[in-house]
């Protein structure tokens, strides 16, 4: 994994806004239709080129070959079938925030405003049915091979400093997943980790960085009011143990771990503080950790690194622009946010990133403007850090 040796490198979290025409074609014809495969390859080439032109060093494919960030894996696993959601299904969207602000959430649900820019119909298609495990979980590699090939072709046309592909962590698939096959839910989760490990290894073997997305670990605190802090931390530790099982044998310095708080456009007044789970996060066998650091609920948490020691050789990738507001961050503010981290853990241990994915979270015009501000702010920070 590249480090910020003579300048602050830039990256983002993964999801960028899929072109509307591609989303419509995938929704109508499926992701394997010949015309869709051609358009997908073209779109990946264009989004990689635009990232590089915008000033992003460590790029990805925009996650264009996937549905929802967590349940895309349904399309890649044997043993899962989709069914109509039962009337008595436990709601996925519940928790402390909703209990505290019922009026806001009733309004937001009625206006479909919780996830920002929701024009990508294909992105949300996997949430229309309930995933049910009905047989042994086994990974089908065709889709990840296609994603790897599309990214490789794009980078051949537009080289970048480095490239990554995002994947989902076992704990973030397990939420909402019904089990009708394995003796216990723990057995199912371990089988899920074994299956996901095939995708993880394929990406690293192809020469790319692996980014593991795990929003449900921190978001489960809000979603589960029955937890006290001790029981929640036990849940989080168990989730990380299962993830590390899936990552076993893979090189730590090729792995990025993304932890966020669910990314919905709500109060987030009941987010678990990063200080309560930072030690557990650092147990993930990864070389870099992507954290929210630009939205107003978590921006102050850079002070944590005055007391918590970043392990030797590890990298922090704080979000210095956010999906949580339509305001475009000024590059000077971006530079200040970067400096908060370089001052505390060293510039070589910092890469400038985003809070969460922009795809389906914010209008694409604004997303690209934020990435441009990210790159400009990183250049300002670099000039100041290395001048000293």
pLDDT recorded at residue 173: 94
- Please, which contacts does 97-104 make with residues 24 or more away whose CB atoms are closer than 8 Å? 97/222, 97/266, 97/267, 97/268, 97/269, 97/270, 99/225, 100/267, 100/269, 100/270, 101/266, 101/267, 101/269, 104/266, 104/267
HSE-up (13 A, CA, CB side) for residue 186: 3
Domains of the chain: 20-387 (3.20.20.210)
The span from the CA of 83 to the CA of 104, in Å, is 30
Lookup: tokens for 290: 């992507």
pTM beyond cutoff 0.85: yes
Give every CB contact of residue 99 below 8 A, 6+ residues apart in sequence.
Answer: 225
Instruction: Output the pLDDT for position 70.
Output: 87
List per-residue pLDDT tens for the chain, 388 residues long: 999 999 999 999 999 999 999 999 999 999 999 999 999 999 999 999 999 999 999 999 999 999 988 889 999 999 999 999 888 777 777 899 999 999 999 999 898 888 878 788 788 888 889 999 999 999 999 999 999 999 999 999 999 999 999 999 999 999 889 999 999 999 999 999 999 999 999 999 999 999 999 999 999 999 999 999 999 999 999 999 999 999 999 999 999 999 999 889 999 999 999 999 999 999 999 999 999 999 999 999 999 999 999 999 999 999 999 999 999 999 999 999 999 999 999 999 999 999 999 988 899 999 999 999 999 999 999 999 998 6
Predicted local confidence at residue 296, as pLDDT: 95
| Residue 383, pLDDT score | 97
For residue 386, give both structure tokens: 């290395």
As a whole number of angstroms, the distance between CA 339 and CA 170 comes to: 34
Q: Which pLDDT does position 127 carry in this prediction?
A: 83
């Amino acid at each position: 994994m590249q480090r910020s040796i003579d300048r602050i490198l830039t990256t983002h979290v993964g999801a960028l806004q899929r072109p509307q025409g591609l989303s419509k074609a995938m929704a109508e014809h499926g992701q394997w239709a010949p015309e869709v495969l051609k358009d997908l390859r073209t779109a990946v080439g264009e989004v990689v080129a635009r990232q590089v032109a915008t000033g992003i060093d460590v790029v990805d494919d925009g996650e264009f070959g996937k549905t929802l960030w967590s349940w895309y894996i349904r399309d890649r696993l044997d043993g899962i079938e989709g069914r109509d959601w039962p009337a008595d299904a436990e709601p996925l969207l519940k928790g402390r925030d909703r209990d505290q602000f019922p009026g806001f959430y009733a309004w937001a649900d009625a206006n479909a405003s919780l996830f920002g820019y929701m024009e990508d119909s294909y992105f949300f298609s996997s949430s229309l049915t309930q995933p049910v495990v009905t047989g042994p979980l086994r990974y089908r590699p065709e889709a990840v091979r296609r994603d790897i090939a599309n990214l490789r072709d794009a980078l051949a046309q537009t080289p970048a400093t480095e490239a990554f592909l995002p994947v989902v962590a076992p704990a973030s698939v397990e939420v909402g997943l019904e089990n009708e096959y394995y003796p216990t839910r723990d057995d199912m989760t371990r089988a899920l980790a074994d299956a996901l490990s095939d995708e993880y290894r394929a990406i690293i073997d192809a020469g790319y960085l692996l980014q593991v997305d795990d929003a449900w670990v921190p978001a489960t605190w809000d979603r589960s009011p029955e937890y006290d802090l001790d029981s929640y931390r036990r849940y989080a530790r168990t989730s990380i143990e299962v993830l590390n099982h899936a990552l076993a044998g893979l090189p730590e310095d090729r792995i990025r771990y993304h932890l966020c708080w669910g990314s919905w456009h709500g109060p987030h007044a009941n987010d678990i503080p990063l200080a309560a789970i930072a030690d557990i996060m650092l147990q993930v066998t990864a070389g870099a950790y992507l954290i929210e650091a630009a939205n107003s609920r978590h921006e102050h948490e850079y002070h944590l690194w005055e007391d918590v020691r970043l392990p030797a050789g590890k990298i922090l990738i704080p979000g210095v622009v956010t999906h949580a507001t339509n305001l475009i961050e000024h590059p000077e503010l971006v530079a200040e946010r970067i400096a908060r981290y370089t001052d505390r853990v060293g510039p070589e241990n910092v890469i400038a990133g985003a809070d969460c994915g922009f795809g389906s979270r914010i209008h694409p015009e604004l997303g690209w403007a934020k990435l441009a501000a990210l790159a400009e702010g990183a250049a300002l920070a670099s000039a100041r850090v290395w001048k000293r």
